[in-house]
Structure 1
Amino acid sequence: MSVAVHIRGLRRVFGTRAVLDGLDLDIERGEFVALLGASGTGKTTLLRILGALDRPDSGTVLVPEARTIVFQEPRLVPSKRALGNVLVGLPRGAASRERGQRALAEVGLTEHANAWPHTLSGGEAQRVGLARALVREPELLLLDEPFAALDALTRLRMQDLVGDLVSTHRPAVLLVTHDVDEAVRLADRVAVLRDGTLITDETVGARHPRDPADPALTALRRRLLTDLGVRLPEEPGGAPEPDGVRQPTEGAMR
């Protein structure tokens, strides 16, 4: 594989605070990387720099020209139907329309091509946004907490859909998320951002589909939660934690 994203010494300062401070990161073509971190640690700033929506103050940032972003909100144009939203910015004509229809078919929305945004559910609207991103055949797909506003069941279905689409199209992917389970479920690598740099960058060795009860994934999840500053109880047989410390619930890091 060749490198799709190459970052060295990235620094981004707001006022007197360095949100990103000497960050290094490589993402291979076809590789799925999930980025975790507390709110305000610079995850979205990094994604915006990679998507050319912000600029670094210093450092090297090399990314493919063909890149797209899927945000937490679908950001659909209210005056355009679903297919029109997929085709925003593309040349008019039969070829683009056919590409758009194929993209909607891939996300399971063939019958919703003529639907107005206000008639779509949250999951359907987000699928339109995903089709809009993939129809451009990006070499780099940037995902900014795209499932955070969805209910739990729809979120799981969208995770499966994104996993399948990424396997088919093979872009490099950077997913920004607060959800440790989501990161471990989807990504080839999981990184943790703190104090402007990556303090963790681990490969997820398990094959897809992944069993959440896999002991290796359970151990990885615990390490990631610890790196995120979550205090966990000892494993069975270990020393007890101080009174009042509990295992986080499933949604603790969302």
Structure 2
Amino acid sequence: MAARLPGVDTVASVRGLTRAFGDRVVLDALDLEIGPGEFIALLGRSGSGKSTLLRALAGLDREVTGELSVTGSVAVAFQEPRLVPWKRVLANITLGLDAPAERAHAALAEVGLTERAQAWPLTLSGGEAQRASLARALVREPGLLLLDEPFSALDALTRITIHQLVVELWARHRPAVLLVTHDVDEALLLADRVLVLDEGRIAHDSPVTAPRPRHRDNPELITLRADLLAALGVAPEGRS
């Protein structure tokens, strides 16, 4: 089990974090620090350990070893919204949390779901369900918000809308954010720092300084995209 140490000017600090499944080492003495208010995107090929790292930060994997500290509360939004189907939306937002009703209603208002507070989860669209998942995370007032590919199941237009919502919520509340994604463009449009996980360690770390709102034709993003694809072992377009 990872030893938990007090963080200094960080929301999360990981040193020498290791996780193996049998003979397969997924995280190999990984080091990472996340500062207050940082928006970080984590890229990596399938099976590279992205979700394993996220679960360790969330305290959901007790089999990791090394040193890990997280300051303040942590909230997670997964690829699947994971709403309890027999509880209405408002009850899902406060599930397992002793939160005032006004805080839950405020969270729903922030994600545009005020009128769906008493709806059943199975009546929500995919975008609405993901908004509810974000509201459930927000109501916990996290210092660290972990997003595990929460946009991958959404259609293109809904994804753009939820992207904008996440950036607005981050700018308003300023939690540190760690977004796990397979999408290089998504990482560049949303994050201010992009990491690539490879062979169990952080193999690439790029700041993104382009002003918001961002556009794919920004020269900085074009250059960073090529660098990230190379770090992921993907040949540039037009090359074999």
TM-score (norm 1): 0.89
Counterpart residue identity of residue 171, structure 1: P
Report matched runs for 1:163-242 at 5 Å. 163-233=167-237, 241=239
Equivalent residues of 1:90, 1:96 under 8 A apart: no
1:76-122 Cα offsets, whole Å, 9 max, x none, are 0111111111011122xxx6111110000000111111111111100
1:159-198 Cα offsets, whole Å, 9 max, x none, are 1100110111111111000000110000010000000011
Equivalent residues of 1:142, 1:173 under 8 A apart: yes
1:178-225 Cα offsets, whole Å, 9 max, x none, are 000110000010000000011101100112111211111001011101
Report matched runs for 1:111-150 at 5 Å. 111-150=115-154
1:154 equivalent in alignment to 2:120: no
- Alpha-carbon distance between aligned partners in 1 of 2:91 and 2:198, rounded to the nearest angstrom: 40
1:102-157 Cα offsets, whole Å, 9 max, x none, are 00000011111111111110000110010001101001100000001100110111
Counterpart residue identity of residue 16, structure 1: D
1:38 equivalent in alignment to 2:45: yes
Q: CA deviation at 1:233?
A: 4.1
Runs of at least 5 residues in structure 1 that lack an aligned partner in the other structure:
235-240, 246-254
Counterpart residue identity of residue 61, structure 1: L
Write out the 4+ residue segments of structure 1 that deviate beyond 6 Å after TM superposition: none
1:7 corresponds, among 14, 26, 30, to 14
Q: CA deviation at 1:65?
A: 3.9
Equivalent residues of 2:193, 2:206 under 8 A apart: yes
- Alpha-carbon distance between aligned partners in 2 of 1:2 and 1:171, rounded to the nearest angstrom: 14
Equivalent residues of 1:10, 1:56 under 8 A apart: no
SS of 1:3's partner is coil
Runs of at least 5 residues in structure 2 that lack an aligned partner in the other structure:
1-7
1:26 corresponds, among 21, 33, 56, to 33
SS of 2:152's partner is coil
Counterpart residue identity of residue 129, structure 2: A
- Alpha-carbon distance between aligned partners in 1 of 2:97 and 2:198, rounded to the nearest angstrom: 38
1:12-52 Cα offsets, whole Å, 9 max, x none, are 11111110001111110100110000110000000000001
Equivalent residues of 2:10, 2:71 under 8 A apart: no
- Alpha-carbon distance between aligned partners in 1 of 2:171 and 2:32, rounded to the nearest angstrom: 22
- Alpha-carbon distance between aligned partners in 2 of 1:24 and 1:134, rounded to the nearest angstrom: 27
Q: Give the paired residue count.
A: 233
Larger radius of gyration: 1
2:55 corresponds, among 35, 48, 55, to 48
Counterpart residue identity of residue 142, structure 1: L
Counterpart residue identity of residue 37, structure 1: G
* Aligned CA-pair RMSD: 1.3
1:77 equivalent in alignment to 2:84: yes
